[in-house]
């Protein structure tokens, strides 16, 4: 026992002193939110209706607590307070998203809502005045409803409207916003929104809707990147990426070859699906083959996976300055003997079954088990497959039910950040920054306000929506200021100051 204690002391001491176990000075730390989840003001000052406004209003009973984002954290009115929270937290940047419907109420440039432009100008200026860099996501799921009425993302014309919208953003904010993310989590936009029917616009068209949606979104991403190149980059000198979510898929039995293959297929069809086109210009070969084969077996005259033309491939290839990674958890995978999922479906196309190990600690979200080593393997996989691109971790975080002494969240950040340091130091991964999800509790989509991810507690029963610091915000601040993970650091609790 003594030996173990000694070993722990020695290793803690060694790490605290070891320069390799510190984040470099140019590594940036931030915190994230998204417009629909925090802003509220859903129809204020000329904002148009989005698919999440429509979806939660029409199907209140589909949200766990019948709630919606009409008011949410009321950041539309309280953004200055949010900026003070960020300042106290000590972050370098704030990752927020812009509501397309607040800027362009119809989704199109026939009508520009000056009040919406003013809101984001005020937020951006407030951030910069407080020494915090604005990192803006152009699309975090809230498509203007009028564009959904024309078919939404499976309609290729939506890419034209997105590029017009992106131009408005570059013109109005690009003098101060130097980090852009076009899209947040294409998997959720498309598979949940247009295949599985579990997120707005709640369309169920498995095996087709998600592929058609993704194709348009990727073209919109690539064309936005090229627009920046041709019209804005020289003056504005910013960077553009996109935020893609993924589990790490671990082979069920790491030594079994078929499980290793299953893990590789799962990574390619769930992550490479979105990243390979922006790095290499096309969907992964294994995905093209598998969807084509299943489509033929199912009697389709052609593959359900749309095809990029040669020009489109050339246009898409290399359209990133950084890859954004949203990562929360992992699973273990193996090939299903009888095939996986109903046909047609994306799941059947992967042919892989995944599950989360019962020994992994849980959270308030059924899908989120704590698997810190998964982020390390994920980062190494990205390095090995895409030539070690700059990776910005655009989301990582933990859900609970709202306790202020949120030790589990604090420990999650410590454990995951330590694995990120290992991926940098031992894995040679080019990780440029980290974003904690989330700055504060907010509207957690179909879970409403029942699951909380914030480093600040928000009282949703109080019309003032007061914010209160949680323990994890002190721990994150300690990591940012010391630039390493101090296993022993916890603030005195409850804190003396208010
Ligand atoms: C999304 C966030 C969401 C978080 C936790 C990500 O999928 O980008 O909007 O709140 O995960 O579920």
pLDDT tens-place string over residues 16-69: 567 779 999 999 999 999 999 999 999 999 999 999 999 999 999 999 999 999
Is residue 448 left, alpha or beta, with left meaning phi > 0 and alpha meaning psi from -120 to 50? left
**299 Cα–ligand 1 center, Å:** 36
Give yes or no: 395 in active site: yes
Q: Which positions ≥6 away from 173 have C-beta within 8 Å?
A: 120, 121, 124, 134, 136
Specify the pLDDT at position 337: 87
Beta strands in 235-326 (DSSP E): 239-245, 248-251, 322-326
> Residue 95 gets which letter from DSSP?
E
Q: Whole-angstrom Cα distance, residue 291 to residue 48?
A: 38
Nearest CA to ligand 1 atom 12: 444
CA distances from 420 to 13, 247, 311, 415 (A): 19, 15, 37, 9
As a whole number of angstroms, the distance between CA 61 and CA 204 comes to 18
Question: DSSP class of residue 304?
Answer: S
Closest CA to ligand 1's atom 9: 34
Closest CA to 142 of 198, 219, 69, 79: 69
Ligand 1 atom at minimal distance to the Cα of residue 185: 8
Q: Give me the pLDDT at residue 17, please.
A: 65
The answer to whether 278 and 316 have CB atoms below 8 angstroms apart is yes
The residue to mutate among 184, 395, 436, having the most atoms of ligand 1 within 8 angstroms of its beta carbon, is 395
The Å distance, Cα 258 to ligand 1 centre, comes to 32
Q: Ligand 1 centre from 197 Cα, in Å?
A: 17
Helices 407-425, 372-386: inter-axial angle, 10-degree rounding: 30
DSSP string, 443-488: --GGGTTSSB--SEEE-TTSTT--EEE-HHHHHHHHHHHHSS--TT
Q: Where are the beta strands (DSSP E) in 185-247?
A: 239-245
**Dist. CA 201 → ligand 1 center (Å):** 17
DSSP bridge partners of 427:
none
User: DSSP states of 94-129 as a string?
Assistant: EEEE--HHHHSTTSSTT---HHHHHHHHHHHHHHHH
Distance, CA 246 to ligand 1 centroid (Å)? 11
Q: How far is the CA of 326 from the centre of ligand 1 (A)?
A: 8
Which structure tokens are listed for 424?
Answer: 């940098």
Q: How many CB atoms lie within 10 A of CB 152?
A: 24
Which residue in 486, 451, 492, 452 sits closest to 471, CA to CA? Answer: 492
User: Are the beta carbons of 28 and 64 closer than 8 angstroms?
Assistant: no
Catalytic: which of 191, 395, 419, 444? 395
Please identify, by atom number, the ligand 1 atom nearest to the C-alpha of residue 399: 5
The protein residue whose alpha carbon is closest to atom 3 in ligand 1 is 444
Q: How far is the CA of 154 from the centre of ligand 1 (A)?
A: 22
- How many residues are present in the chain? 498
Tell how far CA 439 is from the center of its chain.
Answer: 14
Q: Which atom of ligand 1 is found nearest the CA of 245?
A: 7
Residue of minimum CA distance from atom 5 in ligand 1:
444
3-state secondary structure of 317: coil
In 3D, which of 236, 124, 229, 123 has the Cα closest to residue 174? 236
Q: Is 343 helix (H, G, I), strand (E, B) or coil?
A: coil
**H helix or E strand, kind and range, residue 278:** helix 273-280
Decide: helix, strand or coil at residue 233. Answer: helix
Structure tokens at 341: 């999922």
Ligand 1 pocket mutation, candidates 445, 446, 451, criterion most atoms within 8 A of CB: 445
Helical residues (DSSP H) of 354-436, grouped into ranges: 372-386, 407-425
Between CA 55 and CA 38 the distance in angstroms is 17
Ligand 1 atom closest to residue 397's alpha carbon, by position in its atom list: 5
Q: Give the N- to C-terminal CA distance of the chain in Å, as an integer.
A: 41
Please check whether residue 343 is in contact with residue 294, taking contact to mean a CB–CB distance below 8 angstroms. yes
Atom of ligand 1 nearest to the CA of 365: 12
10 Å CB burial of residue 114 (0-12, 13-18, 19+) is exposed
Q: Ligand 1: residues whose CB is within 6 Å?
A: 34, 37, 184-185, 188, 245, 326, 395, 437, 444, 453
Report which ligand 1 atom has the smallest distance to the Cα of 447.
Answer: 12
CA of 38 to the centre of ligand 1 (A): 12
Q: Cα of 411 to ligand 1 centre, how many Å?
A: 19
pLDDT < 70: residue spans in the chain:
1-17, 497-498
Atom of ligand 1 nearest to the CA of 184: 8
Distance from C-alpha of 158 to C-alpha of 167, rounded to nearest angstrom: 14
Q: Which of 397, 437, 450 to mutate to test the pocket of ligand 1 (most atoms within 8 A of CB)?
A: 437
Contact between 453 and 442 under an 8 Å Cβ cutoff? The reply is yes
Residues 73-111: pLDDT tens digits? 999 999 999 999 999 999 999 999 999 999 999 999 999
């Amino acid at each position: 026992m003594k030996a173990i204690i000694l070993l722990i002391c020695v290793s803690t001491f060694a790490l605290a002193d070891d320069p390799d176990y510190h984040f470099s000075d140019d590594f940036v730390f931030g915190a994230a939110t998204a417009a629909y989840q925090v802003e509220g003001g859903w129809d204020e000052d000329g904002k148009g209706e989005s698919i999440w406004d429509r979806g939660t209003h029409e199907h209140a009973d589909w949200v766990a607590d019948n709630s919606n984002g009409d008011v949410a954290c009321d950041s539309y009115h309280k953004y200055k307070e949010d900026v003070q929270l960020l300042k106290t937290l000590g972050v370098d940047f704030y990752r927020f998203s812009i509501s397309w419907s607040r800027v362009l109420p119809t989704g199109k440039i026939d009508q520009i809502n000056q009040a919406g432009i003013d809101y984001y100008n005020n937020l951006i200026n407030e951030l910069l005045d407080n020494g915090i860099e604005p990192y803006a996501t152009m699309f975090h799921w809230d498509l203007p409803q009028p564009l959904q009425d024309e078919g939404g993302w499976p309609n290729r014309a939506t890419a034209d409207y997105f590029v017009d919208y992106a131009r408005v953003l570059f013109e109005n904010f690009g003098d101060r916003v130097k980090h852009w993310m076009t899209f947040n989590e294409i998997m959720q936009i498309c598979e949940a929104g247009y295949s599985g029917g579990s997120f707005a616009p709640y369309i169920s068209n498995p095996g087709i809707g998600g592929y058609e949606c993704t194709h348009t979104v990727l073209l919109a991403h690539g064309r936005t990147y090229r627009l920046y190149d041709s019209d804005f980059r020289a003056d504005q000198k910013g960077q553009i990426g996109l935020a893609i979510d993924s589990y790490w898929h671990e082979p069920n039995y790491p030594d079994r070859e078929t499980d290793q293959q299953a893990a590789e297929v799962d990574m390619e069809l769930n992550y490479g699906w979105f990243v390979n086109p922006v790095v290499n210009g096309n969907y992964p070969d294994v995905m093209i083959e598998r969807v084509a084969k299943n489509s033929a077996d199912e009697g389709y005259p052609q593959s359900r996976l749309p095809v990029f033309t040669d020009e489109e491939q050339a246009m898409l290839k290399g359209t990133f300055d950084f890859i954004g990674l949203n990562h929360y958890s992992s699973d273990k995978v193996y090939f299903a003997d009888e095939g996986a999922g109903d046909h047609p479906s994306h799941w059947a196309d992967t042919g892989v079954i995944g599950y989360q190990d019962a020994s992994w600690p849980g959270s308030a979200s059924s899908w989120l088990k704590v698997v810190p080593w998964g982020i390390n393997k994920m980062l190494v996989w990205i390095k090995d497959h895409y030539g070690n691109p700059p990776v910005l971790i655009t989301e990582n975080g933990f859900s609970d039910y709202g306790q202020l002494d949120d030790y589990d969240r604090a420990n999650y950040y410590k454990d995951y950040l330590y694995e990120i340091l290992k991926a940098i130091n031992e894995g040679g991964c080019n990780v440029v920054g980290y974003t904690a999800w989330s700055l504060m509790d907010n509207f957690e989509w179909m879970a409403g306000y029942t699951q909380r991810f914030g480093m600040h507690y928000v009282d949703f029963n109080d019309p003032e929506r007061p914010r209160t610091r949680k323990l994890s915000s002190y721990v994150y601040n300690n990591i940012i200021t010391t630039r390493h993970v101090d296993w022993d650091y916890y603030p005195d609790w409850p804190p003396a100051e208010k």
